[in-house]
């Protein structure tokens, strides 16, 4: 039996098992995929225990940077971004080779492309993503947040043609790692504080593309300010959070006349790229999408009956 899993802390909320299990079933693979609660302190022991029965791991917070020194090889894109959300177990030698990869970048770029921000991104475009920073049509962007997902957002935006970005961070002091990643990508990036929200609104209303990497609920104050302002927005928003459906920020953005794509689209596409890397087969995105929609709909019904 071949195994795979998603690791994080906490992890019970993860929809990765829904996506991966649907993919394996569609591909006819008798694989298992579990959600395992793992802290940073516990991660080295688990990684050391990976053997030839494993195909790979998905990693969520707070493990995307902690895993970097634990793998045998880091793919160039993940190295530039400074975050690994996927470990591929390459079998065949005396011991498996662990390769760290980043599929968040692909997920962000593909989700934005669905909403019309830049050229379409397909599963075979991963090599292009590693190039980063090609001139294109997006121009400039605003990223909310300054953590590992924000660095992936900068890389995805660079692929779509962004030449300059502004980070709106809750803590400017914690943005150093993301700014260093932006420098490695060659993306001109400035960082500003997310507060006060009225000032932040000036940046996001004028931006052609906005990506929120803030955790669920953290953008609600900004969403409220957008509603109170009663002013139009002109760009495309990707909110990487996917609960509630829609998030307050997505609802406010759409009410202001903007196009918005929800975090479930990023989740789908990054998981699809993980499936491709682990199995070697094209991801069955349609089957994965159906399973994801069903799980989200079931969760919404459950929430209304509590």
Residues annotated as catalytic (active site), given as ranges: 64
Residue 111: CA count within 13 A, CB half-sphere:
37
Show Cβ contacts of residue 213 under 8 Å, excluding neighbours closer than 6 positions: 143, 144, 145, 147, 149, 150, 152, 153, 240
Question: In 226-256, which positions are buried (b, 16+ CB within 10 angstroms) versus exposed (e)?
Answer: beebeeebebbbbbbbbbebbbbbbbbbeeb
Question: What is the side-by-side order of every strand in the sheet holding 31-37?
Answer: 31-37, 2-8, 54-59, 86-90, 97-101, 73-74
Q: Kind of pairing, strands 86-90 and 97-101?
A: antiparallel
Show Cβ contacts of residue 266 under 8 Å, excluding neighbours closer than 6 positions: 104, 107, 108, 110, 111, 238, 240
Residues 157, 163: Cα–Cα separation, whole Å: 9
């Amino acid at each position: 039996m071949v195994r795979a899993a998603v690791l994080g802390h906490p992890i019970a909320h993860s929809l990765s098992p829904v996506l991966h299990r649907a993919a394996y079933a569609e591909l006819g693979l008798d694989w298992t995929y579990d959600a395992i609660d793992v802290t940073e302190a516990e991660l080295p022991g688990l990684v050391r225990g990976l053997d030839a029965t494993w195909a790979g791991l998905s990693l969520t917070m707070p493990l995307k940077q902690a895993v970097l020194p634990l793998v045998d090889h880091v793919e160039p894109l993940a190295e530039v971004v400074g975050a690994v959300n996927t470990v591929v177990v390459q079998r065949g030698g005396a011991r498996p080779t662990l390769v760290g990869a980043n599929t968040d970048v692909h997920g962000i770029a593909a989700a934005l492309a669905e909403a019309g921000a830049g050229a379409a991104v397909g599963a075979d475009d991963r090599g292009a993503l590693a190039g980063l920073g090609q001139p294109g049509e997006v121009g400039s962007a605003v990223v909310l947040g300054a953590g590992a997902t924000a660095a992936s957002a900068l890389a995805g935006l660079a692929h779509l043609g962004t030449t300059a970005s502004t980070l709106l961070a809750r803590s400017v002091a914690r943005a150093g790692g993301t700014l260093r990643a932006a420098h490695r990508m060659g993306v001109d990036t400035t960082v500003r504080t997310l507060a006060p929200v009225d000032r932040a609104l000036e940046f996001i209303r004028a931006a052609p593309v906005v990506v929120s990497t803030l955790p669920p609920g953290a953008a609600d104050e900004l969403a409220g300010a957008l509603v109170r302002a009663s002013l139009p927005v002109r760009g495309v928003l990707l909110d990487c959070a996917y609960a509630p459906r829609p998030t307050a920020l997505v609802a406010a953005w759409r009410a202001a006349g903007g196009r918005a794509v929800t975090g479930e689209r990023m989740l789908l596409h990054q998981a699809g790229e993980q499936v491709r890397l682990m199995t070697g087969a094209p991801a069955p995105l349609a089957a994965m999408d159906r399973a994801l929609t069903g799980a989200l709909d079931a969760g919404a019904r459950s929430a209304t009956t509590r």
